[in-house]
Amino acid sequence: MNHDIQNLEPKEVWKYFHELTQIPRPSKHEEKVREYMLDFAKSHGLEAVVDKVGNVIIRKPATPGMENRKGIVLQGHLDMVPQKNSDKEFDFTKDPIEAYIDGEWVTANGTTLGADNGMGVAAAMAVLASNTIKHGPIEALMTIDEETGMTGAFGLEPNILKGEILINLDSEDEGEMYVGCAGGLDANVTMKYNTVPVPAGHKSYKLSLTGLKGGHSGMEIILGRGNANKIMNRFIKHAVEEHGLMVASIHGGSLRNAIPRESFAVVTVPAEKANDMLNCIKKMEAVFRSEFSATEPDMKFVASEEPMPDAVIDPQVVWKLTRAIYACPNGVMRMSDDMPGLVETSNNLASVDTDNGIISIKNLLRSSVDTAKEALGHAVSGTFELAGAEVVLEGAYPGWKPNMESAILKSCREMYKEMYGNLPEIKAIHAGLECGLLGAVYPNWDMISFGPTIRYPHSPDEKVNIASVKKFYDFLVKVLENAPTK
């Protein structure tokens, strides 16, 4: 593996991205990267503050002759999604990311790369450190906890920033500019359960569903990838009815904004039906692989013998649970009427966990239409409430409504064509860019989002296209050098 990413072009961007990969920064653990950003600002003689929720704001005055330009806020987030392959030993709170060059891409060894949004942060840092780029007043807003709760964006105070234009550096297709995004809503499900003794004559197994692609629950929900929680639930329900299977524990998925790639369950089955169950696993694996042949070619579903658990979940609870998960809406609910090809509304049944008498199920609902998001929330909550669960709908955040008359959009389109000979695509995104929240606090902002090409974010397959980083950064510099006058 070639790990020398610092010699890629533009070197100033890759230098800072490499440094970011060496700093553990999963969501809610941004202490070290925040300190790093403050040290960076100090070393370049720049003003830096940390607001009350932990966002970092760095200010750089206009270069001589550019004082009459509108202030621009460069915005990204400090945290990254901590996802790894199950066979990878890695502690995201301690270990550096092992980034390497793979042909035309940079990726990581068995973990997420953190190009989302490390590449946007690195580009902003390169601008702040430059002595040659001409620009008006710049403020870099680096938020915390974007990936798990948008805590930084929720907590941003009015009047702390002076800029009039926001450039969000967190989109993932070079040559595309985003002018709108979906809002989101969390649906947290809790079911209580009692346990019963394992019947005599049972054998115990661990079921492992692995090898799914997962990915970003907004960007890649349209790709029709398998949801590990849904697939595991199909087998459990079938095996309960056909083979007398009993469930001791289930642990599927992890992060709310990542399509679940893996699910594991400890189960018991009457010894005389064990072979039938094992044969059924092989048959069901073939069924699943056939159904998802285009999207999940590496799916694996296996069973291995497991020490006997102390107890199993009350079968009546399992009966309710499996039916509720079966019925829970998941995936794309509706496509946009206004923008062809854009998902309007979706749900990600992100995680299912059992522990100490509590079944915890997490969902992330997204929609660019607030009323549709609310209606889907009632559908999800109603499904689980009928099964006797408690459901809390919380963490709602607004979408970002497109403004096709935006001045910064018009100028960016013209500059992109001047540089590259073609117009960029103008899109909205089915993901929770922070622009919706930030724009609610600063309604005067003219906003746009663009970035380099990143594939498979929120999964260990995450990678960033090398050539796109240079195009993205060169364009950002062009926009800054041609900022509109006040």
- Centre a 10 Å sphere on the Cβ of residue 329 and count the other Cβ atoms it contains: 16
Query: Is 146 labeled as catalytic in the residue annotation?
Result: yes
Q: State CA 51 to chain mean position distance.
A: 24
If you search the block for the tokens 């569903």, which residue do you land on? Answer: 209
Angle at 394 between CA 322 and CA 398, to 5 degrees: 120
Tokens of 138: 């710049």
**Catalytic residue (one of 30, 139, 145, 146):** 146
Q: Are 145 and 136 in contact (CB under 8 A)?
A: no
Q: What is the largest CA-CA distance in the chain?
A: 84
Q: Are 311 and 195 in contact (CB under 8 A)?
A: yes
- Centre a 10 Å sphere on the Cβ of residue 64 and count the other Cβ atoms it contains: 7
CA distances from 222 to 40, 165, 331, 338, 411 (A): 39, 31, 7, 17, 31
Report phi then psi at 438, rounded to 5: -65, -40
Tokens of 365: 């609902």
CA distances from 409 to 32, 402, 441 (A): 35, 10, 20
89: left (phi over 0), alpha (psi -120 to 50) or beta: beta
CA distance 320 to 323: 5
**Catalytic residue (one of 30, 79, 344, 434):** 79
The residues assigned a catalytic role are 79, 146
